[in-house]
């Protein structure tokens, strides 16, 4: 593993960790500040996530692309593998591992800051076809937005656009838009407003994978030649390509 990949994996681990810290930490704060108003809690949580995700993409995008999401990394690999762009096989596995570890550490950090039990596991059930459909929709839209921007050379808009999409999807999807397996795993380790119980996690991740595939099919249909732009997701970056 060369130094460039080390830097990219570090960026993905820290970036995903901080994303989960933003989601979980703002969820805990919202629950404490507005204990009797779930709608206000969701507003506070979604606004913090929108702003935090925007900043994280700006910070880590030039290093790793700021995927911060195994579905996005897998889509990048699928699109670019024939065109020789995007991640190679071992990189996408490494990205996903770094993102997942980061998600767990991000939840632990939020729990420590708010003096919540570090070893607690979420008990909030998130099951049923409507919620899973919400995850399919949320993830499909996320993937479509990211690669449409890359294909049309509007990567400079990725940070606010992706942040705005996730912030909006908190409200227009029944699942409140997890749309990210690493974030889903991280949120399993916080028994708070933002948590998800372990039994609900496999269904959510399966829905996210389906949504990612549908989003990819949509963007390939709407934007022919999108494979050439795989290396520009989420933010244009030019890492040294190491031997696969």
In Å, what is the CA distance from 106 to each residue of 118, 137, 163, 234? 11, 25, 18, 21
Q: 3-232 is classed in which CATH architecture?
A: Up-down Bundle (1.20)
Q: What is the mean pLDDT of residues 208-218?
A: 97
- Give dist(CA 165, CA 137) in Å, integer: 12
The one-character DSSP state at 157 is G
- Give dist(CA 168, CA 216) in Å, integer: 20
Q: What's the confidence (pLDDT) of residue 244?
A: 39
Instruction: List pLDDT tens digits, range 133-160.
Output: 999 999 999 999 999 999 999 988 999 9
Q: What's the confidence (pLDDT) of residue 243?
A: 39
118 compared with 27, residue with greater pLDDT: 27
Question: Residues 176, 135: contact at Cβ < 8 Å?
Answer: no
- Give dist(CA 215, CA 159) in Å, integer: 19
Tell me, yes or no, if the pTM score tops 0.85. yes
Q: What's the confidence (pLDDT) of residue 242?
A: 46
Token couple for 213: 């595939």
Q: What's the confidence (pLDDT) of residue 238?
A: 65
Residue 67, judged by CB atoms within 10 A of its CB (0-12, 13-18, 19+), counts as buried
Instruction: List pLDDT tens digits, range 78-111.
Output: 998 877 788 998 999 999 999 999 999 999 999 9
List the domain boundaries for the chain: 3-232
pLDDT band at 3 (very low <50, low <70, confident <90, very high): low
- Give dist(CA 6, CA 105) in Å, integer: 18
Residue 58, judged by CB atoms within 10 A of its CB (0-12, 13-18, 19+), counts as middle
Instruction: List pLDDT tens digits, range 8-59.
Output: 999 999 999 999 999 999 999 999 999 999 999 999 999 999 999 999 999 9
């Amino acid at each position: 593993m060369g130094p460039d990949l080390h830097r990219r994996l570090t960026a993905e681990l820290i970036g995903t960790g901080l994303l989960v810290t933003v989601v979980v930490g703002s969820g805990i704060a919202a629950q404490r500040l507005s204990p009797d108003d779930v709608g206000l809690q969701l507003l506070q949580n979604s606004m913090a996530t929108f702003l935090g995700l925007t900043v994280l993409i700006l910070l880590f995008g030039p290093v790793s692309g700021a995927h911060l999401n195994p579905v996005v990394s897998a889509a990048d690999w699928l699109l670019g593998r024939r065109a020789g762009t995007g991640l190679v096989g071992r990189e996408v596995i490494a990205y996903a591992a770094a993102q997942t570890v980061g998600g767990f550490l991000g939840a632990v950090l939020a729990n420590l800051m708010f003096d919540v039990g570090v070893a607690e596991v979420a008990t909030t059930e998130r099951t049923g076809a409507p919620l899973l459909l919400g995850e399919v929709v949320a993830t499909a839209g996320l993937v479509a937005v990211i690669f449409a921007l890359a294909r049309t050379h509007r990567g400079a808009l990725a940070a606010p656009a992706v942040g705005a999409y996730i912030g909006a999807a908190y409200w227009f999807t029944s699942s409140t838009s997890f749309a990210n397996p690493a974030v889903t795993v991280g949120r399993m380790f916080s028994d708070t407003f933002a948590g998800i119980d372990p039994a609900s996690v496999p269904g959510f991740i399966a829905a996210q994978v389906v949504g990612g595939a549908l989003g990819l099919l949509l963007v390939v249909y709407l934007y022919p030649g999108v494979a050439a732009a795989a290396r520009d997701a989420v933010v244009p970056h030019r890492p040294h390509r190491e031997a696969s």
